[in-house]
């Protein structure tokens, strides 16, 4: 008989479902007059944001939206998008933020698969949305968010966002879900092959990653967060909820361009922002005068792809404090961090960049991360050599894939989430990705890590971005093919690039072909390797 | 049919019990060489602390200790005490830290009530412990922690801590409890009347308050935390676990005295410490030369009693950043914070001190705090006038009282934890305590808040500490009686003190008697008003 298990049950007094809704409630109650959201000249306070979210929740309830219903959004980073992160949950419903750069067919697939009852949309995406809607047998309620900051496009809906908000009285909304395991959001994977999968987040995980982000990043009360990262991407890596936990200020941004980013940093004293390497690259390569007048330290997270050494070095030269995090849609965005160690500070820049560019260790609020052989489910030795698959387990691993038990079971085989990323474990316990399992190039029986080749390419002074994929080769089976985007005014050629790589890599790892041009990217800055793989089939190998 | 509830169940991959054990694991894995615990010349790293906790857990397991078993500790703030906060849970058992200033009878009561199987003790407390043990029908396994920093006393146990540790191999310990609702620790209330109650904490709450502390206090990675607060008090307000969450450094301290505190702050660059007002008072009133050479900002939390304005002002003059938090044993220590608002910074010092001295708002990770009429369970208006009882609900409210279902039910009546503290809600939503319900003085039918009178007394330049209780009065029923501890060299008398109060308070609120001398205090610096109430019965009223 365990006396600690008798007469000590859950009660309304001592148990509450974990939910981001209590974080908003806290900020609004504690700092009602502090700025919550800034968009151009528009400003809201936490008191106002809370009231607006409640009105949104009650307006949805009046339209019959409730638990199990999906509310979709095709929106840039505007105040309405932020409010949807709380207002939809206040109606008990599930928020599905759509990647605004997807095509109409994919959007139609998602709206249909999620059975979206409502769609919030922006004039900018009217062509895609109109086409997607026309493909749906049952139309959702379409609500236009009419942002004066964008000129052009057509409204498509039956009601405008502010009018819709006014139809709610803010009453009878939920302060919490029935169960912390209930869904709060739905995020489709980018789905490079096959149909996208709908990743379901629950309140518990959203709450824990929101708080975990603040802990990992030492994010102080009233941090000023610039929305360079799309909120549609894993709910802005859960930062949509983190900013409420720290009563921060959300600075909205419709489009990432160097001048408006630096202007926002200067004007609003932005302290924190996130983005894929390409976002940081944009700032590094911008004219130095755009940065004039920024004296305070700006903290940045980079993820979405391993940051090349050039990005880490470039950020350091700008005086920005960059931290590398890693995760997937299935892990609520970031679930690992390349936690900096004091000893690295005295290293040479290149070595420091190498250390800081790794995927690192688990988030303190994710319970497990390791590199395992998926066949045996045994961890690889920490030798920096043996490849395995990165696996996660814990509270910031998804609830599962919507209406896809088979895929969920496969992803969770053996009680770990299989990331699909191939990595080694270094002697200090930090994980370093070698490749996506499908991106490995097998040349004459040898594995070539496309990342390793890309890293060599990115060190070339003329290279802005580079990607490497396999191209078919009659002799070796596959050989590396490089796609390169050059810096403005740069002059080089394929032979020179290949020679540069051969100085740094084993010959069989150096590209056999180089294609110059703009690289196809996803909305989050990830290079679309499946497009390149098609192109590589027709590329010309250079016989050197 | 809610599609978000189908095929999306809990799995080893996506659910883990919340527990502080994962925080230690994180710090040890990520920063194995970073200092975890410093005690005099002794230093451990996080890697060592983790290994030692594992050995402790396995040594307990070998002795047959497991789930439902209580492991007690009568220890000052030494490394072993810190290790018990993890090692005991690694055996699945429950840690009961005993207040080292209690008498033998009370300690015996606790050991018996908790059915302690093991007791870790320190030579300093051998007299009390020996007497307590002699009163027990069944003796626990007694383990001595032989701290060379203390001379004197006798070992009482059958084995010394380091030898005990060496008997464990660190294997087969738990990484997590079976259920996050399982108990992690037991903390007895100070019990001013009747027997102490055993407050049970679970892993979920301990974890959330550990993280909540870091969030509330903007506690950065590698904070250096000085143990001025006894770890036996609510597990150091859960900071025993917080320091693992931020991979901080624990600086141990056996005894709180001004010189060693300032020495530790200077030597180890302490950034954070906690304590009752008396701890801060000690530092404020210490000779200024003790503070020489401390240039960095030290962040302090004060709780255990509302800090008098003089403490808030004094800390500010020293350049220490003080935040007031509030809570009870039943809320894992702190569950409310007087969150500072930017607008207060421009106020006069006295007004700023008044704002900062309130109990404030809920912790972001506690879900509810309000002031209610306990008869109707309706919140009082935010008028700063209407008194009610402070109530809490949420995840950092205790699991309940051990073997006392009746008391648990009463404490949780109406789905809220009843704090017993009487307060008003001010117009800005911040809670301000007026009194413990049993400390209110009813004079001629009027309620007199003892805190209000104490605050007036503490403004007198000669007063070090003051406490006010009711004394019987034939005419008024009760009148306020003041107990005053004067500063060194101070010269004043009762009549002058009373006149001072009358300038600041309604006449009926001013003390009718003043008794000078050292005040009886609990180990946590709380003044023992029940002792004073007895003494007040014989006090002499001054007819003015």
User: Which pairing describes strands A477-486 and B368-373: parallel, antiparallel, or unpaired?
Assistant: unpaired
In sequence order, what are the residues at sequence separation of 6 or more whose Cβ sits closer than 8 angstroms to the Cβ of residue B109? Answer: B195, B196
Least confident of A236-240, B190-194, B271-275, B366-370: B190-194
**Phi/psi at A302 (5° precision):** -125, 135
Residue of B503, B504, B446 lying closest to B477 (CA atoms): B446
Instruction: Mark yes or no for CB contact A408/B342 under 8 Å.
Output: no
B458-480 tens-digit pLDDT: 889 999 999 999 998 888 888 99
Residues of chain B in contact with residue A68, where contact means CB-CB under 8 angstroms, are 1-5
Helix orientation angle between B203-216 and A203-216, rounded to the nearest 10 degrees: 40
∠ CA B325-B520-B494, nearest 5°, is: 100
Determine the residue of chain A that is closest to B201 in CA distance.
Answer: A4
Determine the residue of chain B that is closest to A337 in CA distance.
Answer: B30
Band (B543; pLDDT cuts 50, 70, 90):
low
What DSSP string describes A95-108?
EEE--TTS-HHHHH
Residue of B358, B362, B469, B355 lying closest to B424 (CA atoms): B358
In sequence order, what are the residues at sequence separation of 6 or more whose Cβ sits closer than 8 angstroms to the Cβ of residue B237? Answer: B213, B229, B274, B301, B303, B325, B327, B332, B333, B334
| B2: contact with A, CB 8 A cutoff | yes
Cα-Cα-Cα-Cα dihedral sign, residues A113, A117, A118, A123: positive
Instruction: Mark yes or no for CB contact B68/A1 under 8 Å.
Output: yes
Determine the residue of chain A that is closest to B24 in CA distance.
Answer: A364
The distance from CA B226 to its chain's CA centroid, rounded to whole angstroms, is 14
Q: What is the pLDDT of residue A523?
A: 64
Q: Average pLDDT in the B426-434 region?
A: 94
Report the half-sphere exposure of B283 (CA within 13 A, side-chain side). Answer: 31
Residues of chain B in contact with residue A400, where contact means CB-CB under 8 angstroms, are 7-9, 11, 14
Q: To the nearest 10°, report the CA torsion of B110, B113, B119, B123.
A: 20
CA dist list (Å): B301 to A182, A237, B250: 36, 32, 16
* Cα R_g (chain B), whole angstroms: 24
The helix/strand/coil state of A391 is strand
- A90 to chain B, minimum CA–CA distance in Å? 16
DSSP secondary-structure letter at B459? T
What DSSP string describes B235-269?
HHHTHHHHHHHTT-EEE-BSS--HHHHHHHHHHHT
| A11: contact with B, CB 8 A cutoff | yes
Cβ neighbours of B30 (radius 10 Å): 22
Determine the residue of chain B that is closest to A29 in CA distance.
Answer: B429
Q: Which residue in the set B215, B404, B411 is minimally distant from A211, CB to CB?
A: B215
Say how many CB pairs under 8 Å bridge A and B.
Answer: 186
Q: What is the pLDDT of residue A543?
A: 66
Q: Average pLDDT in the B370-382 region?
A: 96
Given a cut of 60, whether residue B544 has pLDDT beyond it is: no
Cα–Cα distance measured from residue B81 to residue B77, given in angstroms and rounded to the nearest whole number: 6
Cα–Cα distance measured from residue B525 to residue A262, given in angstroms and rounded to the nearest whole number: 51
Cα–Cα distance measured from residue A387 to residue A379, given in angstroms and rounded to the nearest whole number: 10
Q: Which residue in the set A30, A200, A215 is minimally distant from B8, CB to CB?
A: A200
Least confident of B26-40, B205-219, B314-328: B314-328
| B50: contact with A, CB 8 A cutoff | no
Cα–Cα distance measured from residue B387 to residue A316, given in angstroms and rounded to the nearest whole number: 56
In sequence order, what are the residues at sequence separation of 6 or more whose Cβ sits closer than 8 angstroms to the Cβ of residue B497? Answer: B457, B460, B463, B482, B484, B511, B514
Written in H, E and C, the secondary structure of A412-470 is CHHHCEEEEEEEEECCCCCEEEEEEHHHCEEECCEEECHHHHHHHHHCCCCEEEEEEEE
Q: What is the pLDDT of residue B523?
A: 64
Residues of chain A in contact with residue B362, where contact means CB-CB under 8 angstroms, are 26, 29
Chain A contact probe: residue of B92, B364, B365, B371 with most A CBs at under 10 A: B364
Instruction: Mark yes or no for CB contact A361/B15 under 8 Å.
Output: no
Instruction: Mark yes or no for CB contact B221/A221 under 8 Å.
Output: no
Strand partners, A516: A484
The helix/strand/coil state of B145 is strand
CA dist list (Å): B234 to A155, B53, B200, B273: 58, 20, 10, 15
Across chain B, mean pLDDT equals 93
Q: How large is the greatest C-alpha to C-alpha distance in chain A, in angstroms?
A: 79
- B372 to chain A, minimum CA–CA distance in Å? 14
Q: Average pLDDT in the B500-529 region?
A: 86
Residues of chain A in contact with residue B332, where contact means CB-CB under 8 angstroms, are none
SS3 content of chain A, % helix, strand, coil (to 5): 35, 25, 40
User: Which pairing describes strands A388-393 and A417-425: parallel, antiparallel, or unpaired?
Assistant: antiparallel
> Is the distance from CB of B374 to CB of B387 less than 8 angstroms?
no
Reported ipTM: the value is: 0.88
In A336-395, the residues whose Cβ lies within 8 Å of chain B are 339, 341-343, 361-362, 364-365, 367-368, 392-395
- Structure tokens that stand for B130 in this block: 């020996």
Cα–Cα distance measured from residue A37 to residue A34, given in angstroms and rounded to the nearest whole number: 9
Chain B contact probe: residue of A1, A2, A4 with most B CBs at under 10 A: A4
Instruction: Mark yes or no for CB contact B398/A368 under 8 Å.
Output: no
Q: To the nearest 10°, report the CA torsion of B414, B416, B421, B425.
A: -100
Q: Which residue in the set A12, A67, A365 is minimally distant from B2, CB to CB?
A: A67
Tell me the average confidence (pLDDT) per consecutive run of 10 residues in chain A, 544 residues long: 95 98 98 98 98 98 98 98 98 97 91 98 97 96 97 96 98 97 94 77 98 97 97 97 98 96 97 91 92 94 80 89 95 96 90 90 97 96 95 98 96 96 95 81 78 88 92 86 92 93 86 93 76 88 70
Residues of chain A in contact with residue B221, where contact means CB-CB under 8 angstroms, are 218, 339
| A30: contact with B, CB 8 A cutoff | yes
Q: What is the pLDDT of residue B438?
A: 72
Chain A contact probe: residue of B1, B7, B12, B14 with most A CBs at under 10 A: B14
> Is the distance from CB of B423 to CB of B452 less than 8 angstroms?
no
Q: What is the pLDDT of residue A544?
A: 54
This prediction's pTM: 0.88
Token pair 């009223």 is found at B541
Q: Which residue in the set A23, A67, A341 is minimally distant from B31, CB to CB?
A: A341
Residue of B421, B314, B448, B437 lying closest to B360 (CA atoms): B421
| A16: contact with B, CB 8 A cutoff | yes
Q: What is the pLDDT of residue B280?
A: 92
Band (B374; pLDDT cuts 50, 70, 90):
very high
Helix (H) or strand (E) holding B99: none
* Cα R_g (chain A), whole angstroms: 24
> Is the distance from CB of A442 to CB of B41 less than 8 angstroms?
no
Instruction: Mark yes or no for CB contact A367/B22 under 8 Å.
Output: yes
What DSSP string describes B296-323?
S--EEEE-SSPPPHHHHHHHHHHT-EEE
Q: Which residue in the set A11, A221, A362 is minimally distant from B415, CB to CB?
A: A11
Residue of B73, B86, B80, B87 lying closest to B37 (CA atoms): B80
Residues of chain A in contact with residue B203, where contact means CB-CB under 8 angstroms, are none
Token pair 């180089």 is found at A514
> Is the distance from CB of A380 to CB of A388 less than 8 angstroms?
yes
CA dist list (Å): B119 to A399, B71, B133, B157, B235: 43, 6, 10, 9, 16
Stated length of chain A: 544
> Is the distance from CB of B62 to CB of B36 less than 8 angstroms?
no
In sequence order, what are the residues at sequence separation of 6 or more whose Cβ sits closer than 8 angstroms to the Cβ of residue B389? Answer: B371, B372, B373, B374, B418, B419, B420, B421, B422, B423, B437
Determine the residue of chain B that is closest to A407 in CA distance.
Answer: B7
Instruction: Mark yes or no for CB contact A397/B218 under 8 Å.
Output: no
CA dist list (Å): A524 to A188, A192, A278, B105: 13, 14, 9, 66
The distance from CA B248 to its chain's CA centroid, rounded to whole angstroms, is 20
Q: Which residue in the set B13, B392, B417 is minimally distant from A417, CB to CB?
A: B13
Residues of chain A in contact with residue B393, where contact means CB-CB under 8 angstroms, are 12-14, 16
Q: Which residue in the set A9, A32, A218 is minimally distant from B221, CB to CB?
A: A218
Residue of A376, A386, A375 lying closest to A425 (CA atoms): A386
Cβ neighbours of A255 (radius 10 Å): 12
| B211: contact with A, CB 8 A cutoff | yes
> Is the distance from CB of A294 to CB of A250 less than 8 angstroms?
no
Residue, of A472 and B173, whose pLDDT is higher = B173
Token pair 């210490």 is found at B286
């Amino acid at each position: 008989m365990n006396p600690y298990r008798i007469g000590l049950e859950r009660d309304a007094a001592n148990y509450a479902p974990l939910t981001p809704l209590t974080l908003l409630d806290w900020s609004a109650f504690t700092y009602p007059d502090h700025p919550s959201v800034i968009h151009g000249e528009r400003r809201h306070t936490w008191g106002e944001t809370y009231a607006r979210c409640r009105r949104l929740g009650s307006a949805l309830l009046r339209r019959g939206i409730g638990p199990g219903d999906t509310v979709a959004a095709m929106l840039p980073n505007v105040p309405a998008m932020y409010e949807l992160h709380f207002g939809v949950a206040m109606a008990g419903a599930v928020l599905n933020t759509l990647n605004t750069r997807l095509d109409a067919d994919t959007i139609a697939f998602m709206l249909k698969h999620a059975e979206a009852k409502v769609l919030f949309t922006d004039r900018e995406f009217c062509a895609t949305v109109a086409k997607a809607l026309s493909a749906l047998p049952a139309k959702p309620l379409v609500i236009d968010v009419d942002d004066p900051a964008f000129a052009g496009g057509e409204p498509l809906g039956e009601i405008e966002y502010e009018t819709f908000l006014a139809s709610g009285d803010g009453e009878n909304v939920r302060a919490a879900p029935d169960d912390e395991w209930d869904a709060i959001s739905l995020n489709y994977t980018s789905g490079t092959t096959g149909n996208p999968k709908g990743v379901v987040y629950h309140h518990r995980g959203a709450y824990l990653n929101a708080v975990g982000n603040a802990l990992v990043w030492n994010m102080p009360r009233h941090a000023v967060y610039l929305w360079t990262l799309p909120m549609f991407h894993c709910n802005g890596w859960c930062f949509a909820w983190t900013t409420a936990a720290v009563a921060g200020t959300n600075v909205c941004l419709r489009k990432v361009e160097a001048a408006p980013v630096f202007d926002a940093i200067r004007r609003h004293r932005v302290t924190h922002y996130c983005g894929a390497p390409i976002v940081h690259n944009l700032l590094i390569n911008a004219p130095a005068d755009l940065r004039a007048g920024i004296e305070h330290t700006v903290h940045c997270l980079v993820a979405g792809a391993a940051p090349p050494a050039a990005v880490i070095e470039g950020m350091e030269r700008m005086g920005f404090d960059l931290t590398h995090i890693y995760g997937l849609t299935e892990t609520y965005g970031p679930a690992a961090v390349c936690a900096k160690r004091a000893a690295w500070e005295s290293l040479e820049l290149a070595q420091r960049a190498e250390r800081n560019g790794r995927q690192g260790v688990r988030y303190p609020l994710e319970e497990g991360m390791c590199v395992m052989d998926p066949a045996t489910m045994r961890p690889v030795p920490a030798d920096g050599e043996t490849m395995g698959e990165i696996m996660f387990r814990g509270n910031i691993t998804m609830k599962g894939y919507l209406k896809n038990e088979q895929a969920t079971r496969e992803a969770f085989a053996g009680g770990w989430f299989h990331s699909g990323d191939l990595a080694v474990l270094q002697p200090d316990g930090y994980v370093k990705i070698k490749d996506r399992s499908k991106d490995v190039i097998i040349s004459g029986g040898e594995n070539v890590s496309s990342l390793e080749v890309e890293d060599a390419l990115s060190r070339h002074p003329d290279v802005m971005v580079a990607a490497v994929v396999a191209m078919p080769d009659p002799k070796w089976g596959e050989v590396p093919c490089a796609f390169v985007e050059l810096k403005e005014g740069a002059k080089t050629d394929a032979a020179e690039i290949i020679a540069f790589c051969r100085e740094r890599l084993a010959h069989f790892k150096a590209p056999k072909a180089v294609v110059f041009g703009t690289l196809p990217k996803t909305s989050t800055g990830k290079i679309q390797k499946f497009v390149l793989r098609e192109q590589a089939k027709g590329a010309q190998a250079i016989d050197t």
